[in-house]
Structure 1
């Protein structure tokens, strides 16, 4: 990637932890919270398995983003004392390693609240599996990978077009909200809009201290919890004790209330995180954004034609959005037009089909292929041929409980056994 990642999320593999500590010395290592919390029901003593309040208290303590490390430790120890878990080995071990997985220790880390599990990686794996096959050779894999990237870029282009043409509904008359709508993408604007609404209807100013350098406001939220917003006049900067901006890159409702009280009409540019803006494109992949009057862009007739087709398509889709019957007719018309145009395109020859491969390798296809794709490991991953992944006892129990009960003709009881294995199954 050219540089080490700022943070990496893994499971609790000790070997991986040691490798990351030795090689990626400046990378923040974090354990996946989902993997840890999944083990909770297995590690709780039997006497506490039916106690739903214990599970709720542990989840509220662990998953909270607003607790400071000291507050988390006090809350955790209080739970351990109330439910007599101080000497349970798993809870002792997880408390000793709390800096590896608890959000309270990632409050000051940028995007720390968004990257808590390996779900981002797993979703990417699932996406690319729809385009690739387990026994593809290298050339097929590269081509399928390009198709996957093209699908992502097409979705991104569609969202960019929607952001540039659709005006979202507003929840207030604040000029700040309208300014946010012009900057943020649709998804992030809805997130920021909720903070603005909370500032207007659920937050109140509980105190204000001023001097020549600082302006300190105490803001009370809808949970009656107080937060401190500090405005530094010399730097024209705002900070809140909830640290939402540092974690996610968006302003909190407490700062928006101070904006409102100070009659600000626009959000300062320093508080727009590039990740959430409409104009934020992946320059490394797609190149820097260029305006429509760019001479280089105007000199490319192929790109201009593509842009024109995209504009026509999305403009008609916006007009036909409310009528599914017209959309069906529109799709049929496009399909017929495409088929009629295909008759004018000559069928590519064998040499034309091999040209992308030659261009990729910068060489002719050899007469004898000496290097073959490696054998697929039959017991690794969901794409294996044997499907021989070991299933845990917990997964087996969940699958068994999902099956309907049936009556045994031998004992007359309702369960998951029949007359053939009645005694053996009941014995288990």
Structure 2
């Protein structure tokens, strides 16, 4: 099983055909060709092996229920089934505050601390300034590997496109052949046959090797996935929501400018927090600017809740909305349609109206049957 796990962990860097070859070699080596479970798992390999959906952008984020199970475990440490509602709410808020604390700490570390730069390359320094701390360490590992484990064995150039054949000496991938990287210098477009950027949103070591060999010093902006950047999560303390204006591509520069302003304010406050005098001067200047803005926008109408919700959802409010009752819809375990649950009190009232049942053998209106009838017991004794 450990061999199969190793093959799965390295399947992000190989093609589907190479995975099939490696799988078959393992089955032959350990005589597992007749094992039903392995045969069933191989039949559905396109649903769980990354090599089969590498061309799907950010498909490396696809996982099973491990994330929800992790959340359940985290909340299970602070809650249990014996808690009252008040206690559960208190424990739930404690768990949420713990997660918020870790998020704020990670955001602070990413924005206001500088990770150690190893290679001294400008492309690494720009990655440290752009990506969050965790993602940067992944990028830094790939940059280091591009210098230590990769080398070019063949270069072909035609029509402005340069194709590199890269040999990766990493022990986990060296037996899977070479990697082909295409590079267009005119617009700094680079793509690798391992499809790591499409899989995870981060460039691979082979692409970093080609960029370095081609004299590219700056990190290509087109390969910066916004979801991995430091400013992807808006600051809740700002009170500003980016949904207050249209979300088309024409306003991306405007959004970037807004994020830069928030970052600058947050950065200045964090730097001046230990100097009370300078912090007071900064607050005074901000108040003066705020007063000027308030005077200039005094007559501007704020966005209503309806307009705000419409801008978030991208829809307009209709004059008339018709909602039809669904027909033939029932939840699992709800019982037959148009049949409601009857309580114990109502059941007792209905049974009382029916009256007692008359037993034919003894002729009495009592609640018994042939087995519990006392008249039958007396007759049996005399017999």
Q: Which of the five TM-score ranges fits, normalised by the shorter chain?
A: 0.5 to 0.7
Give yes or no for the alignment of 1:92 onto 2:39: yes
| Preserved contact between residue 63 and residue 103 of structure 1 (Cα < 8 Å) | no
Match of 1:244 in 2: 196
- Cα gap change, 1:122/1:164 in structure 2, threshold over 3 Å: closer, same or farther? same
Higher relative contact order (CA 8 A, sep 6+): 2
Match of 1:345 in 2: none
Match of 1:259 in 2: 211
Write the distance in 2 (CA, Å) between the matches of 1:236 and 1:101: 33
Match of 1:57 in 2: 3
Match of 1:106 in 2: 53
The superposition leaves residues 288-321 of structure 1 with CA deviations (integer Å, 9 ceiling, x where unpaired) of 4866967xxx9xxxxx9xx9799849x9xxxxxx
Normalising by structure 2, report the TM-score.
0.56
Aligned residues: 250
- Cα gap change, 1:270/1:147 in structure 2, threshold over 3 Å: closer, same or farther? farther
Question: How is 1:291-330 mapped onto 2 (pairs within 5 angstroms)?
Answer: 312=273
| Preserved contact between residue 68 and residue 105 of structure 1 (Cα < 8 Å) | yes
Match of 1:227 in 2: 179
- Cα gap change, 1:122/1:257 in structure 2, threshold over 3 Å: closer, same or farther? same
List gaps (5 residues or longer) in structure 1: 1-54, 299-303, 316-428
Max Rg structure: 2
Give yes or no for the alignment of 1:281 onto 2:233: yes
Write the distance in 2 (CA, Å) between the matches of 1:206 and 1:309: 49
- Cα gap change, 1:291/1:144 in structure 2, threshold over 3 Å: closer, same or farther? farther
| CA RMSD of superposed structures (Å) | 3.4
- Cα gap change, 1:308/1:201 in structure 2, threshold over 3 Å: closer, same or farther? closer
Write the distance in 1 (CA, Å) between the matches of 2:269 and 2:119: 36
| Preserved contact between residue 15 and residue 194 of structure 2 (Cα < 8 Å) | no
| Preserved contact between residue 231 and residue 259 of structure 2 (Cα < 8 Å) | no
Query: 1:196 deviation in Å?
Result: 0.8
Write the distance in 2 (CA, Å) between the matches of 1:293 and 1:96: 53
Query: 1:221 deviation in Å?
Result: 1.4
| Preserved contact between residue 63 and residue 102 of structure 1 (Cα < 8 Å) | no
- 2:13 is paired with a residue whose SS is coil
Write the distance in 1 (CA, Å) between the matches of 2:197 and 2:4: 26
Match of 2:121 in 1: 174
Write the distance in 2 (CA, Å) between the matches of 1:80 and 1:154: 48
Query: 1:81 deviation in Å?
Result: 2.7
Of 92, 96, 101, 1:154 maps to 101
List gaps (5 residues or longer) in structure 2: 243-257, 276-383
Write the distance in 2 (CA, Å) between the matches of 1:214 and 1:292: 36
Query: 1:123 deviation in Å?
Result: 1.5
Query: 1:176 deviation in Å?
Result: 0.8
Question: How is 1:27-46 mapped onto 2 (pairs within 5 angstroms)?
Answer: none
Write the distance in 1 (CA, Å) between the matches of 2:227 and 2:260: 23
Write the distance in 2 (CA, Å) between the matches of 1:282 and 1:132: 30
Query: 1:250 deviation in Å?
Result: 0.9
- 1:113 is paired with a residue whose SS is helix
Write the distance in 1 (CA, Å) between the matches of 2:73 and 2:157: 54
Query: 1:263 deviation in Å?
Result: 1.6
Match of 2:66 in 1: 119
Query: 1:147 deviation in Å?
Result: 4.3
- Cα gap change, 1:271/1:308 in structure 2, threshold over 3 Å: closer, same or farther? closer
Write the distance in 2 (CA, Å) between the matches of 1:262 and 1:67: 25
